[in-house]
Amino acid sequence: MDRTPHILLLADLVGEFDREMVEGVRRFSQTVAPLELTVDQPDAGASSLRGDWPLDGVIGRFKTPEAYLPFEQAGLPIVGVGSVARDSVTRVRVDAEAGVVLAFEHFMERGYTRLAFCGERAPHFSTARALQFAELAAERGVRCDRYEGMARRWWRTRWDRVLQHMVDWLKTLELPVGILCSNDDRAQHVLAACERARLSVPEQVAVLGTGNHELLCATSRPQLSSVDLNSTGLGYAAAECMIQCLREQKNVTQVRVVPPRGVVARHSTDTVGTGDRLVATAIAYIRDHVDQSIQVDDVVTATGVSRRNLEGRFTDVLGTTIRREIERRHVEHAKSLLLNTDLPAHRIAKLSGFHDARRLSVVFRSVTGQTPTDFRRQFSQARWRG
């Protein structure tokens, strides 16, 4: 093709997920292969096929298999984004199942023995995530409750009743509890219900969203932890697949699965799921000093008990040592800086409680199995490439 391909993007820009997907396509266009992009609503259908803007391909969030038909009949290469499939075209989807596993392990690392899932009645993805989360809990012998609540149609007109319904459910749970939510919007509902019920987050109820829509998570109170499903990487992967279709001049039947980036931990899960006051105090001290070089004796002093006593409690509750928990927290903080800043390794080391970049590298490798440099390279690529 001797001109820039004109690609139609079917996406609802009101939704954060679709906006991030479009951003991934745009980033591919800027960095790999130029694309002329036009955005239209997902339900635009045949009205998008106007003679005054000839199209070379379509990338879209199709709501039904039938929604593909107008573009197939027009002979256009198509890349479907999301869960709605059509056998004859390429589909790119996030690995939501891996996201649920990451969420479950996030709670297990914090010692939770009581979990819950908060979703909705209608969406298939909510039901699928709830069932998988419950299966993972059952395999570990962990209790897992489930809540769907009132139908979405009541959320605007009867919000007070909807919220109270959730409050009543929360009051039936044994505390402390870790709650995974089907998406970040639902997680905000749980935070609001906790405030009304006078349940402290994260000390009594730890709340984890799905999607990691940064503005929403950052403005939640407290700031919301969330599973980053890598929707920008999804868009990038969709653009890669479109280039393949254009080169082969036909639809390519394939399914590409884009891995999640991981759990972005913020204040809403920054605790441990234990009723052991001393362990909770120790974890809070480590959390509050994650940017400083602290020793086991500093943590012991903060709790006012003997080192042997506290070490024993850590092993019983968390299955780890105080030293390993300090290192894990420092490494998690370093990960955040590696992903979200361009700071050099020596600065990240200092800001994460390590004496120098060499010590950061040694501990980082022992915790994650890779160096800080490899981690930054891998996940900066995953963000855009999926």
Q: Where are the domains of the chain?
A: 6-94+231-261, 96-230+264-269, 277-385
Write out pLDDT tens, residues 327-352: 988 998 898 888 778 899 999 999 99
Determine the Cα–Cα distance for residues 9 and 18; give it in Å rounded to an integer. 10
Determine the Cα–Cα distance for residues 111 and 261; give it in Å rounded to an integer. 23
pLDDT at 385 over 50: no
Query: What is the DSSP code (8-state) at residue 334?
Result: H
300, 345, 348, 350: which is closest to 325 by C-alpha?
Answer: 300
Confidence (pLDDT) at 380: 59
Query: What is the DSSP code (8-state) at residue 110?
Result: T
User: In what helix (H) or strand (E) does residue 30 lie, and over which residues does it extend?
Assistant: helix 16-31
Determine the Cα–Cα distance for residues 9 and 267; give it in Å rounded to an integer. 35
In CATH terms, the fold of domain 277-385 is Arc Repressor Mutant, subunit A (1.10.10)
Reading the block at residue 175, the tokens are 């505390």
Q: How many CB atoms are closer than 10 A to CB 378?
A: 11
Write out pLDDT tens, residues 116-154: 999 998 778 899 999 999 999 999 899 999 999 888 788
Distances (CA, A) of 375 to 7, 292, 354: 33, 22, 17
Reading the block at residue 292, the tokens are 């400083």
What's the whole-model pTM score?
A: 0.79
Q: How many CB atoms are closer than 10 A to CB 121?
A: 11
Segment 49-57 shows an average pLDDT of 77
Question: First-to-last CA distance in the chain?
Answer: 26
> Which of 1-5, 71-75, 137-141, 204-208 is predicted with the least confidence, judged by mean pLDDT?
1-5
pLDDT at 379 over 70: no
Determine the Cα–Cα distance for residues 187 and 213; give it in Å rounded to an integer. 11
Q: Provide the β-strand partners of residue 180.
A: 117, 208
CB contact at 8 A, 206 and 269: yes
- Backbone φ and ψ for 35, nearest 5 degrees, come out as -135, 140
Q: Which of the four pLDDT bands, split at 50, 70 and 90, describes residue 383?
A: very low
Determine the Cα–Cα distance for residues 163 and 156; give it in Å rounded to an integer. 11
Instruction: Pick the more confident residue, 277 or 304.
Output: 304
Q: What is the mean pLDDT of the chain?
A: 89
Residue 264, C-beta contacts closer than 8 angstroms, at least 6 positions apart: 212, 217, 225, 226, 227, 228, 336
Residue type for 96, please? A
Tell me, yes or no, if the two domains 6-94+231-261 and 277-385 fold the same way. no
172, 229, 170, 227: which is closest to 201 by C-alpha?
Answer: 170
Q: Which of the four pLDDT bands, split at 50, 70 and 90, describes residue 270?
A: confident
What CATH number has the domain spanning 96-230+264-269?
Answer: 3.40.50.2300
What CATH number has the domain spanning 6-94+231-261?
Answer: 3.40.50.2300
Reading the block at residue 113, the tokens are 């023995």
